Chains A and B, each alone.
Chain A
């Protein structure tokens, strides 16, 4: 079957479901609560009867569980660099995906099947989001700097729109060969693409580090932001 045929077939699904999805898009969901540091939650334990209430280190963990009870078996989520480095180590440049000043982070490690998250044989991919918006979900507002990095351990790139990263332009930075593209909203619009980001400058880069493929994207109203992040990650400047 061709993908266009599947698109057509999906067009025939139950109209009530389609209507419900349409209504969901018209109702902006309240943002999920901001990550609560484990230390603050531990302090709250003093006031809580432990038997009656189970505390989780990740505030929306219970939401994921209610939605998909198998999520936590194959996904490790945290807002803390130290926690993801405790699982993945310090060789993945994660500390280099950072912004100056205050910012929010989200790390999601996916493994191929239930098991030890530290077992690199099970690693599928790691998504990293960093933003200086008002919370982790504020990634597309005007004036916000946002970095997204998808690290593929097993070659799986299903979670990203790969065509956005396709480019014939490369640059050499130290030992890295980086395939990249930088465009403005106007340039994307001319191609018929609406990214949905209010920021004007968008950068995409693909490179390999320690044998893993990194798909990096940036969104900012600062034309130099993409350059600064790439240099920060790959040259330390």
Chain B
């Protein structure tokens, strides 16, 4: 079923909306959740919560890109669950490796983040991504949006793991410098 038709089901409050969503995007959402949480059980729970969240948010929303809309809900739910469960301990997992890499771009200090500053920072990161080639942008987002392991990225992009690691390292350095030049000292 086309995304537009699935979204219409939500607007019509037709319960088949969730069935169609699960059929088309269930695996996609589960992959995102599992990359962050590291186990099937937690991932399944987050995916189910995603369907509920989506049902409660469409309408009033009418997403343009349904996959990313669902993926973002799953990502946020999964990450919240991860933070809640790992508040007191270092539990390992792919997401910890991803966070450690991103840690190079930030100071680690507490910040009082205003909503408007956050939006501007998102805009700046989008502009930064525009400076990258399509492949490098994809590699960056596969690692830091989807939290996909380096080895899987290497296979999918036909690169060695060493090459992917070096590429990500360069992109992180460029991101840090790009944001610093624009007044964002994270």
Contacts and interface: CB of A to CB of B under 8 A. Distances in A.
Interface of A: 1-22, 24-25, 27-32, 67-68, 75, 106, 108, 110, 127-129, 136-137, 139-140, 148, 150, 156, 158-164, 191-197
A1 B93 contact: no
B121 A148 contact: no
8 contacts: A10-B102, A32-B159, A108-B163, A164-B97, A192-B39, A192-B93, A194-B35, A194-B38
Contacts of A139: 151, 154, 160-161
A13 B160 contact: no
A21 B156 CA distance: 11
A68 B149 CA distance: 23
A12 B122 contact: yes
Interface in B87-118: 91-94, 96-111, 113, 118
A137 B160 contact: yes
A17 B126 contact: yes
Contact of A192 (B69, B92, B134, B159): B92
A227 B111 CA distance: 46
Given A20-B137, A24-B138, A196-B151, 8 more contacts: A3-B102, A10-B145, A18-B145, A22-B28, A25-B142, A75-B166, A158-B173, A159-B166
Contacts of A17: 126, 129, 137, 141
A202 to B, nearest CB: 11
Contact of A18 (B68, B139, B150, B158): B68
Interface of B: 28, 35, 37-39, 63-65, 67-69, 71-72, 75-76, 79, 83, 91-94, 96-111, 113, 118, 121-122, 125-126, 129, 133-142, 144-146, 148-163, 165-166, 168-169, 172-173, 186
A10 B111 CA distance: 17
A110 B166 CA distance: 9
B124 to A, nearest CB: 10
Contacts of A9: 118, 121-122, 125
Contact of B92 (A13, A15, A31, A191): A191
